[in-house]
């Protein structure tokens, strides 16, 4: 069979249909990411206005993400996974993750949240924002020795726009997403 | 078995198509048990016929008359107090009796749209003489999400499309019969044009079919410019086509005016004192009342049309859209949504007017191809390989373009479903363009061509199924919604 026989009108039509099917398949295939950080998302029964508010949990779900980049177009949303909370209002997010610091130094944690958050490392409160706010990023500084450290982050979304991001950087290095390995930190 | 199929193939295809069509259009058409979009207007107006209450509104009355028939036959609302429907032209959800069902009002549009696919099949089968080709392309109408959601409601468009497809079917039957065109053919066509126009005024575009029928009828005289014979024929064919259309249109209004025997809450719709007086005298079926009522209804329709706002793209909740965006299913309309939390997940049941992208985009592709064909013939003088088929393509492309040009002249706000008529023209055109491109293969019943047509139909069905949560109101999470949000120009909006 030569190329001219293959390239007839019928074959072109079949190829066109196959191409459309592939394009649709790519568009509608649910995406997946590396499971690096476990995120616990808890839906509260009542409105949330403070990160330390007494919780009245209705449902909790566990989602694994690659990085803590959960803000897109003023919404709590992962760039690939979308809204991993599935809720839009009144939920808490908890991250409890052990990191390995390879080099002792000053570290910056860039905490972005809409609404509140708290960051604890090895049980010590590093920084927090208690109530509602539009999405803002604030730096939190800490000196970390080489070795393992337990990081606990809590975040809450009350009503309206939302978003939650965490980046880290050693010294003056360029920030990386929490969950992204570097020469300084392993997740 | 093979002999049986060959013997009864002409019945098997339509029977299978009808069963499939009914299974797509009918299931749960009574849900939601609440009104959406124009149902809030049509339900109270249809009820007014049942209770003999006079009213006026911008659309001709046939659609609502049929909805009233559906309610009387299948309404299942015998014990419901529907007094609230008579005192308003827009029934809010809160004002509607909570136990009322909408199955009866929705029945005519649903059943007529489901049946109209047979006309669609018949049109393509008549022209191409290939049942498999007609069956494959009938999937364009059965499995279009926009047609299905809009027709399964108390809307006029399913009823209108039934009459339009009937007109087109009889037109193709007359032209392909090979017999001389008679005056009764004009009468038949005019009657169906009158019926379609009595549902929605946009059907008037179908008057072009009478002109086309005349061209086919007098093709030899046109080619020879035998103007005397042409004028002689025009003198009889125009009345033969137009008078039945006008008679049907006026006849429908006669019934509409005759049924308006009561005035409720002094709602007179700016009717003249003479007309009101006739109603109060109980003389609604007389010719005098018809003449007064027709004049007042016409005036009301004109004034209403003048008062409809223009498209305002800057308005945040604008549902209207520009006609040139319609072929790509823009802009979609959210008819209704219900948000629930199930097992910790927020699930929203949407009723969204959105076209099956495979259907709508293919139709645009077909129009581009057919326009290219017409240009290549008349600008570049390229030969055509099948003259009859070429003229059929010209006819349906011409109808599509004429409708779009006409609609672009309208200044009032228009909506995506106003594209349904050209969508039907375009769907027929697509089948014909396919037939033109694969003419030799179609004639030879080439297996690869049959498989291709089947693959196309399967793709249409699969994409319909994927978008069906928007059509039938199946629950979707936000992520599932986003998987279906393929293009920003659709302007789909997730409920948060």
Predicted confidence pLDDT, tens digits, chain A (187 residues): 566 666 788 999 999 999 999 999 998 888 889 999 999 999 999 999 999 999 999 888 889 999 999 999 899 999 988 888 878 899 999 999 999 999 999 999 999 999 999 999 999 999 999 999 999 999 999 999 999 999 999 999 999 999 999 999 998 889 999 999 999 999 9
| Residue A2 and residue A84 share a domain | no
Of B437, B451, B466, the CB nearest to A28: B466
By the CB < 8 Å criterion, does B486 face chain A? yes
Q: Tell me how far apart the alpha carbons of residues A65 and A177 are, in angstroms, rounded to a whole number.
A: 11
Nearest-CA distance A120 → chain B (Å): 28
Residue B249 is inside which H or E element, if any?
helix B227-259
Going from the C-alpha of A84 to that of each of A163, B1, B212, B457, the distances in angstroms are 11, 55, 58, 35
| Residue A67 and residue A6 share a domain | no
Q: Tell me how far apart the alpha carbons of residues A162 and B323 are, in angstroms, rounded to a whole number.
A: 36
- Beta-sheet strands, E only, within chain A: 37-44, 57-65, 69-70, 91-101, 105-114, 117-121, 124-129, 136-144, 147-157, 163-170, 176-177, 185-186
pLDDT at A5: 67
Nearest-CA distance B124 → chain A (Å): 20
Cβ neighbours of A43 in B, within 8 Å: 344
CB A180 within 8 A of CB A67: yes
pLDDT at B170: 95
Instruction: Return the residue of A nearest to B452 by Cα.
Output: A14
By the CB < 8 Å criterion, does A10 face chain B? yes
Interchain pair A81, B455: CB under 8 A = no
| Residue A144 and residue A125 share a domain | yes
Q: A66: which residues sit within 8 A by CB, 6+ positions away?
A: A33, A34, A35, A36, A37, A179, A180
Nearest-CA distance A24 → chain B (Å): 9
Interchain pair B455, A14: CB under 8 A = yes
Cβ neighbours of A83 in B, within 8 Å: 478-479
Taking every pair of Cα atoms in chain A, the longest distance, rounded to a whole number of angstroms, is 74
By the CB < 8 Å criterion, does A86 face chain B? yes
| Residue A74 and residue A12 share a domain | no
Of A17, A43, A81, the CB nearest to B455: A17
Q: Tell me how far apart the alpha carbons of residues B364 and B361 are, in angstroms, rounded to a whole number.
A: 5
Please choose, from the candidates B145, B155, B44, the residue with its C-alpha nearest in 3D space to the C-alpha of residue B351. Answer: B145
| Residue A51 and residue A8 share a domain | no
Interface of B with A in 249-278 (CB under 8 A): none
Q: Tell me how far apart the alpha carbons of residues B328 and B363 are, in angstroms, rounded to a whole number.
A: 10
Cβ neighbours of B345 in A, within 8 Å: 86
Mean pLDDT by 10 residues, chain B (496 residues): 75 93 92 91 94 93 95 89 90 90 95 96 95 95 96 95 96 92 94 95 92 93 90 94 96 95 89 93 93 94 87 86 94 91 80 96 97 94 92 96 94 93 97 95 93 96 96 89 90 83
Interface of B with A in 354-393 (CB under 8 A): 358
What's the domain count of chain A?
2
Of A17, A59, A86, the CB nearest to B478: A86
| Residue A148 and residue A86 share a domain | yes
| Residue A117 and residue A70 share a domain | yes
Task: Count CB neighbours of B339 within 10 A.
Answer: 13
pLDDT at B69: 95
Nearest-CA distance A87 → chain B (Å): 6
* Domain extent for A44: 37-186
Of A14, A27, A88, the CB nearest to B486: A27
Nearest-CA distance B423 → chain A (Å): 21
Best B345, B440, B441 member to test A by mutation, with max A CBs in 10 Å, is: B345
pLDDT at B339: 87
CB B133 within 8 A of CB B124: yes
Q: Which is it for strands B333-342 and A185-186: parallel, antiparallel or unpaired?
A: unpaired
pLDDT at A2: 66
Which of B180-191 are b and which e, b meaning 16 or more Cβ less than 10 Å from the residue's Cβ? ebeeebbbbbbb
pLDDT at A82: 83
Q: Which is it for strands B475-476 and B345-353: parallel, antiparallel or unpaired?
A: antiparallel
Q: Tell me how far apart the alpha carbons of residues B161 and B286 are, in angstroms, rounded to a whole number.
A: 32
| Residue A45 and residue A26 share a domain | no
| Residue A54 and residue A12 share a domain | no
| Residue A65 and residue A147 share a domain | yes
Is B496 in a helix, a strand, or coil? coil
Q: Tell me how far apart the alpha carbons of residues B466 and A23 are, in angstroms, rounded to a whole number.
A: 14
| Residue A117 and residue A61 share a domain | yes
| pLDDT tens, position by position, A57-73 | 988 888 999 999 999 98
Q: CA quadruple B289, B291, B294, B297: dihedral positive or negative? A: negative
Interchain pair A10, B452: CB under 8 A = yes
Of B452, B463, B484, the CB nearest to A14: B452
* Alpha helices by DSSP H, B31-156: 39-50, 62-74, 83-86, 103-128, 131-142, 145-151
| Residue A20 and residue A4 share a domain | yes
Count of pairs with CB atoms under 8 A, one residue in A, one in B = 54
By the CB < 8 Å criterion, does A73 face chain B? no
pLDDT at B344: 65
Of B463, B486, B496, the CB nearest to A88: B496
pLDDT at B477: 87
By the CB < 8 Å criterion, does A25 face chain B? no
By the CB < 8 Å criterion, does A88 face chain B? yes
By the CB < 8 Å criterion, does A22 face chain B? no
By the CB < 8 Å criterion, does B99 face chain A? no
By the CB < 8 Å criterion, does B437 face chain A? yes
Q: Tell me how far apart the alpha carbons of residues A134 and A142 are, in angstroms, rounded to a whole number.
A: 25
CATH number of the domain bearing residue A42: 2.60.120.1560
């Amino acid at each position: 069979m030569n190329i001219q026989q293959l390239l007839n009108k019928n074959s072109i039509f079949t190829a066109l249909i196959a191409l459309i099917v592939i394009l649709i398949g790519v568009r509608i295939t649910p995406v997946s990411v590396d499971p690096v950080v476990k995120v616990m998302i808890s839906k509260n029964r009542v409105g949330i206005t403070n990160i330390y508010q007494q919780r009245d949990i209705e449902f909790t779900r566990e989602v694994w993400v690659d990085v803590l980049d959960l803000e897109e177009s003023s919404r709590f949303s992962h760039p690939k996974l979308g809204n991993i909370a599935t809720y839009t209002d009144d939920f808490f997010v908890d991250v409890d993750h052990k990191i390995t610091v390879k080099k002792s130094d000053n570290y910056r944690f860039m905490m972005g949240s809409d609404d509140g958050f708290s960051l604890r490392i090895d049980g010590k409160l590093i920084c927090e924002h208690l109530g509602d706010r539009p999405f803002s990023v604030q730096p939190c500084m800490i000196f970390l020795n080489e070795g393992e450290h337990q990081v606990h982050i809590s975040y809450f979304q009350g009503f309206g726009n939302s978003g939650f991001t965490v980046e880290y950087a050693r010294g003056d290095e360029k920030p990386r997403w929490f969950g992204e390995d570097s020469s300084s930190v392993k997740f | 078995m093979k002999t049986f199929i060959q013997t009864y193939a002409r019945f098997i295809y339509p029977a299978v198509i009808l069963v499939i069509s009914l299974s797509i259009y009918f299931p749960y058409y009574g849900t939601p048990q609440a009104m959406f979009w124009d149902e809030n207007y049509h339900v109270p107006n249809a009820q007014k016929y049942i209770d003999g209450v006079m009213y006026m509104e911008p659309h001709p009355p046939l659609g609502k008359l049929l909805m009233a028939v559906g309610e009387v036959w299948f309404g299942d609302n015998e014990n419901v107090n529907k007094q609230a429907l008579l005192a308003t032209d827009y029934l809010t959800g809160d004002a509607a009796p909570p136990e009322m069902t909408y199955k009866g009002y929705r029945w005519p549009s649903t059943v007529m749209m489901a049946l109209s696919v047979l006309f669609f099949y018949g049109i393509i089968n008549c022209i191409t003489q290939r049942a498999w080709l007609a069956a494959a392309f009938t999937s364009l109408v059965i499995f279009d999400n926009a047609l299905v959601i809009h027709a399964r409601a108390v809307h006029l468009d399913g009823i209108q499309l039934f009459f339009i497809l009937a007109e087109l079917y009889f037109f193709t039957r007359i032209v392909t019969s090979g017999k001389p065109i008679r005056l009764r053919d004009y009468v038949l066509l005019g009657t169906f044009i009158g019926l379609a126009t009595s549902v929605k005024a946009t059907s008037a575009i179908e008057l072009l079919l009478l002109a086309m029928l005349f061209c086919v009828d007098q093709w030899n005289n046109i080619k020879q410019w035998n103007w005397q014979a042409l004028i002689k024929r025009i003198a009889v064919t125009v009345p033969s086509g137009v008078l039945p259309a006008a008679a049907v249109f006026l006849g429908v209004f006669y019934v509409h005016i005759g049924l308006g025997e009561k005035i409720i809450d002094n709602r007179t719709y700016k009717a003249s004192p003479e007309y009101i007086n006739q109603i109060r005298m109980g003389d609604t079926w007389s010719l005098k009342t018809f003449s007064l009522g027709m004049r007042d209804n016409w005036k009301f329709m004109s004034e209403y049309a003048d008062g409809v706002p223009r498209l305002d793209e800057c308005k945040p909740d604008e549902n209207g859209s520009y006609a040139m965006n319609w072929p790509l299913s823009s802009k979609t309309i959210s008819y209704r949504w219900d948000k629930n939390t199930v097992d910790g997940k927020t699930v929203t049941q949407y009723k969204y007017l959105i076209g099956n992208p495979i259907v709508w985009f293919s139709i645009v592709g077909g129009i581009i191809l057919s326009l290219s064909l017409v240009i290549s013939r008349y600008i570049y003088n390229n030969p055509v390989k099948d003259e009859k088929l070429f003229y059929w393509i010209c006819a349906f492309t011409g109808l599509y373009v004429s409708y779009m040009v006409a609609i672009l002249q309208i200044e009032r706000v228009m909506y995506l479903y106003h594209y349904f008529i050209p969508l039907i023209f375009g769907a027929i055109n697509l089948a014909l363009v396919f037939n033109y491109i694969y003419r030799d293969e179609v004639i030879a019943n080439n297996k690869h061509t049959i498989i291709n047509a089947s693959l196309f139909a399967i793709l249409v069905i699969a994409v319909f199924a994927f978008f069906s949560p928007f059509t039938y109101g199946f629950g979707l999470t936000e992520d599932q919604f986003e998987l279906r949000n393929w293009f920003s120009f659709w302007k789909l909006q997730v409920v948060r």
